[in-house]
Amino acid sequence: MAPSCSPKHGWFESVAESYAQQRPHYPESLFAWMSNKASSHQRCWDVACGSGQASLGLARHFHRVDATDLSPAQIAAATPHPCIHYQVAAAEDSGLPNACMDAIVVAAAIHWLDVPRFNEEALRVVRPGGLMVWVGYDPLQGAPPPLQLWLDQLYGERLSSWWPPQRHHVDNHYQNLPFPTISKSLPQELCISLKWSCDHLIGYIGTWSALRKAKQEGHDLLPQLSMELQKLWPADQTTIPLTFPLMGRWGYLAR
């Protein structure tokens, strides 16, 4: 079932602009790997695309990318591209033609969907033998030890009561969700590598669903977390290297 606690247009409707600015973009190595696995490159569906974090990378490898999201604000915040066709649509009822897709990608979003219904839709729109990839990322790694401990405790302990229940699917690498065919795990070497400032890191944390849920219940946690982060930030570094290890599942679909 779709989460009953979600807003009409999804968890990320109210933070579309900050989501577009603060969420990490996926590495070219991921899209090159997908391109190598796909048997054809005419058309790809970027499901629940948000503001297009994956769409732009996919457009370098597929002639056409159909990028859909339930949130009009997210689609409005997406970066235009001549090969990307953005549309407001539900993942479970996309309106796309039958048997039109060579590949289907769900980036950091499968845990928000009604997965059985989405799988039916994916099987309807995919071409025989088309590729499907569910990709997400693990919590940040690589910070200096005091800051890394703070990040680990924030994610795993301090915000535990605020995370929506769908979050456990991410922690389980989507393994407890029904994939519609035999699946494999994504290659372990795939990761997002970046250098972030203190402001960018707190901006990213501010997009977390746990922070928004807390604020909806009258607890604005971000100012306090920002002060804590500033105290922990290395005084001699404007930016620090950080890593998001990628995770997920993939397989070939037969209609």
Q: Is residue 7 predicted with pLDDT exceeding 60?
A: no
Instruction: Let me know if residue 32 belongs to a domain.
Output: yes
Instruction: Let me know if residue 7 belongs to a domain.
Output: no
Report d(CA 1, CA 32) in Å as an integer: 33
Instruction: Let me know if residue 10 belongs to a domain.
Output: no
Question: Which pLDDT score is estimated for 126?
Answer: 98
**The total number of structural domains that make up the chain:** 1
pLDDT in tens, 137-173: 999 999 999 999 999 999 999 999 999 999 999 999 9
Nearest to 23, CA basis, from 109, 83, 101: 109
Q: Is residue 13 predicted with pLDDT exceeding 60?
A: no
Report d(CA 142, CA 130) in Å as an integer: 35
Instruction: Let me know if residue 5 belongs to a domain.
Output: no
Report d(CA 203, CA 173) in Å as an integer: 24
Instruction: Let me know if residue 11 belongs to a domain.
Output: no
Q: What does the pLDDT average to over 96-113?
A: 97
Indicate the pLDDT class of residue 220, thresholds 50, 70 and 90. Answer: very high
Cα torsion through 207, 150, 153, 10, rounded to 10: 0
What is the extent of the structural domain holding 230? 20-253
Q: Is the pTM of this model over 0.85?
A: yes
User: Tokens at residue 137, please?
Assistant: 């990322």
* Domain harbouring 190, CATH code: 3.40.50.150
At CA 86, angle to CA 71 and CA 255, rounded to 5?
A: 95
Q: Is residue 55 predicted with pLDDT exceeding 70?
A: yes
